[in-house]
Amino acid sequence: MTPAPRTLELFYDVLSPYSWLGFEVLCRYKKLWNINLQLRPSLIAAIMKDSGNQPPALLPRKAQYLQNDIRLLGQHIQVPIQFPKDFFSVILEKGSLSAMRFLTAVNLEHPKMLEKVSRELWMRVWSRAAEKAGMSTEQAQGLLEKISTPEVKNELRDTTNTACKYGAFGLPVTVAHLDGQTHMLFGSDRMELLAHLLGEKWMGPVPPAINAKI
Amino acid sequence: MTPAPRTLELFYDVLSPYSWLGFEVLCRYKKLWNINLQLRPSLIAAIMKDSGNQPPALLPRKAQYLQNDIRLLGQHIQVPIQFPKDFFSVILEKGSLSAMRFLTAVNLEHPKMLEKVSRELWMRVWSRDEDISEPKSILAAAEKAGMSTEQAQGLLEKISTPEVKNELRDTTNTACKYGAFGLPVTVAHLDGQTHMLFGSDRMELLAHLLGEKWMGPVPPAINAKI
């Protein structure tokens, strides 16, 4: 009898490129590891504010570094990620409030669509190629109308607060629940360590798809 | 005919726990990959100042996170790393100026000893919660690494010379010119390109860039160098 799957919560924001990288790696591994991946749409701007942190891109040398780091990781992890032309405008001015409220609404009403719609939003912000996620126009429109309802606003706020209570100062944050312990891991670069904690095999960021789930 | 080894420069400071983790992983892989690992003792405090960055531990939630992160990574990477009891005093008050000047002197005169002496300094501050700021502390580390007392004493006398001060300053400036805002920084020179990678968590990516095999942070030692 296989033991119960371990719950992993992934707190993410589509504004965060590293969130996309972590998301794709975990989506690949959810079929390979004995885990239950729970996606948690959150607001990175609120986490920054609550923790007293600042977006790393505000430090010039970090902004420079990020561009290369994202490019190289995108190649390695095989995610078509590219810096938007006006990066600062995207991150600091436009933000992601409506997008994350929309994903919150998706999660409340059509949770099975959450992965695809999240990916579609990342593709729009962080890649030049946009694909359709497969939601019908009515479905999408209906959800769009809900994004300013108290229910959706509160759900996004609650999820974001949960991330803060886990100690988040940025995103992505992966929370692993195992053997009665809770481990909060920050960043897209803690997946090999996560494998170690789970007692699972790390096969790099692009694991062979044919391995059956144990 | 094997191609020429690729040069990797590792800029590090013994005050930096993540530097220790990156250092140990690269020391393991230098025997397995076609690389030439150049250790570059640097001063993290100066890099922070020059880049306008701050030690992450100054943000409360990061300080909290760091403690767990270091502990878990230490277990995974099999490095006996432990937070000192008075962490803030160690990092922010005592610092690592003498230690890094000493390592600079070691690198100038006995470069083959640099790896071992660096390790012994990390073992003091980041494993046994021992001082590394006083001369007798630095001497103890050097002796534990296998240096004779005379050799160690001789190097200690040189740490305030212009030659050693300038060398440390130059190395640190080089890290800054590569774009460093913290440590460790690994600079890989390959195919006419230079890649600067920050952190102890870019080693799998480094393997990918080098076209080498990543076997985790604790690779089997018996694999012969290709």
Average pLDDT over residues B53-69: 96
Where residue B206 falls (left for φ over 0; alpha for ψ -120 to 50; beta otherwise) is alpha
- Among A58, A65, A70, A77, most B C-beta atoms within 10 A, so best to mutate, is A65
Cβ within 8 Å, pair B52-A59: yes
The pTM of this model reads 0.94
Cβ within 8 Å, pair B73-A193: yes
pLDDT digits (tens, 9 = 90+) for B9-23: 999 999 999 999 999
Query: ipTM above 0.90?
Result: yes
Residues present in chain A in total: 214
Nearest CA among B82, B78, B53 for reference residue B66: B82
pLDDT digits (tens, 9 = 90+) for B204-226: 999 999 999 999 999 998 555 54
- Reported as a pLDDT band with limits 50, 70 and 90, residue A130 is very low
Nearest CA among B20, B16, B73, B83 for reference residue B43: B16
Task: Outline where chain A has alpha helix (H).
Answer: 17-29, 44-51, 60-77, 87-88, 97-109, 114-126, 137-146, 150-165, 191-198
Tokens of B157: 């006398």
Average pLDDT over residues B162-188: 98
Q: Is the pLDDT of residue B1 over 80?
A: no
Distance, CA of A71 to CA of A82 (rounded, Å): 7
* Identity of the residue in A65, A167, A204 whose CB atom sits nearest the CB atom of B198: A65
Nearest-CA distance from B70 to chain A in Å? 11
As a whole number, the mean pLDDT across chain A is 91
Are B197 and B188 in contact, with CB atoms under 8 Å apart?
yes
Cβ within 8 Å, pair B202-A189: yes
Provide residues of B within 8 Å CB-CB of chain A.
51-53, 59-62, 64-65, 68-69, 72-73, 75-76, 179-181, 195-199, 201-202, 204-205, 208-209, 214, 216-217
Are B196 and B47 in contact, with CB atoms under 8 Å apart?
no
Name the strand (E) or helix (H) holding B189. Answer: strand B185-190
Nearest chain A residue to B203, by CA:
A189
Return the axis-axis angle of helices B17-29 and B60-77, rounded to nearest 10°.
Answer: 30
Pairing of strands A35-41, A6-12: parallel
* Identity of the residue in B62, B205, B217 whose CB atom sits nearest the CB atom of A76: B205
Tokens of B211: 């076209």
Cβ within 8 Å, pair B196-A65: yes
How many CB atoms are located within 10 Å of the residue B103 CB?
30
Helices vs strands, H then E, count in chain A = 9, 4
CA distances, A192 to each of A107, A114, B54 (Å):
28, 25, 27
Q: Is the pLDDT of residue A38 over 80?
A: yes
Distance, CA of B107 to CA of B118 (rounded, Å): 10
Are B62 and B197 in contact, with CB atoms under 8 Å apart?
no
CA distances, B74 to each of A139, A196, B12, B68, B155 (Å):
48, 12, 17, 10, 31
Pairing of strands B6-12, B185-190: antiparallel
Nearest chain B residue to A52, by CA:
B59
Give me the catalytic one of B16, B42, B96, B200.
Answer: B16
Tell me which DSSP letter residue B124 carries: H
Q: What is the pLDDT of residue A129?
A: 43
CA atoms within a 13 Å half-sphere pointing along the CA-CB vector of B45: 14
- Among B18, B47, B65, most A C-beta atoms within 10 A, so best to mutate, is B65
Catalytic-residue membership of A42: no
Give me the catalytic one of A16, A42, A96, A118.
Answer: A16
Nearest-CA distance from B57 to chain A in Å? 12
Domains in chain A, CATH or no CATH each: 6-198 (3.40.30.10)
Name the strand (E) or helix (H) holding B183. Answer: none
How many CB atoms are located within 10 Å of the residue A209 CB?
8
Are A159 and A107 in contact, with CB atoms under 8 Å apart?
no
Q: Tell me which residue has tokens 């005919």.
A: B1
Please give the order of strands across the beta sheet that includes A6-12.
Answer: A35-41, A6-12, A173-178, A181-186
Tokens of B178: 């590569």
Q: Is the pLDDT of residue A19 over 90?
A: yes
Nearest chain B residue to A169, by CA:
B61
